[in-house]
């Protein structure tokens, strides 16, 4: 139950931060991305503030022996770049640049019941489900077909 409450509070703080900073407004995000036009630098300050707060949090967490709501920390073990990571980053960037919104602010904006936001979130979910199906299908294709071989040998 503690993990659920912590997740809810974290999401609530994140959403409130997005609202206060104006990052739920696609025009503001597109203004930040328009570096050759009427550039709006406020997103850079929001990102800088977020990085500073996260750095302090990570420094504090690394000093603790274990997290409050888990047996151990699960720090990322990989640091390499692979094709799915780069492809995902490119798709995220293209979507962010075209629409001016990313998944976090889109979820916050669902409260407004705006049709474009609903379509965006639906497309986002469709893409995530599609990727997961592709990943599972790819993994199944790489696995040896021992059950099929056993069936043919028995039959």
| Residue 155 covered by a domain | no
Q: Which domain holds residue 8?
A: 2-145
pLDDT of residue 37: 87
In a domain, 28, yes or no: yes
Indicate if the pLDDT at residue 153 is higher than 70. no
154 belongs to a structural domain: no
Q: What does the pLDDT average to over 57-64?
A: 89
Round the average pLDDT of the chain to a whole number and report it. Answer: 84
pTM assigned to the model? 0.66
Residue 66: inside a domain, yes or no?
A: yes
pLDDT tops 80 at residue 74: yes
**40 touches 32 (CB < 8 A):** yes
How many domains does the chain fold into? 1
Q: Quote the pLDDT of residue 3.
A: 81
Instruction: Find tokens 């994140």 and name the residue.
Output: 14
Answer yes or no: are the C-beta atoms of 33 and 101 closer than 8 Å: no
């Amino acid at each position: 139950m503690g993990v659920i409450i912590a997740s809810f509070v974290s999401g609530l703080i994140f959403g409130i931060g997005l609202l206060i900073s104006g990052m739920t407004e696609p025009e503001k995000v597109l203004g930040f991305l328009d570096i050759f036009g009427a550039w709006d630098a406020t997103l850079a300050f929001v990102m800088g503030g977020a990085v500073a707060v996260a750095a302090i949090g990570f420094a504090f967490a690394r000093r603790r022996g274990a997290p409050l709501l888990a047996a151990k920390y699960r720090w990322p073990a990989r640091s390499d770049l692979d094709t799915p990571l780069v492809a995902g980053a490119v798709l995220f960037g293209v979507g962010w640049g075209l629409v001016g919104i990313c998944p976090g602010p889109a979820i916050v904006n669902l409260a407004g019941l705006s049709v474009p936001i609903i379509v965006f979130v639906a497309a986002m979910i469709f893409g995530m489900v599609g990727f997961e199906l592709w990943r599972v299908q790819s993994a199944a294709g790489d696995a040896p077909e021992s059950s099929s071989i056993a069936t043919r040998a028995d039959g």
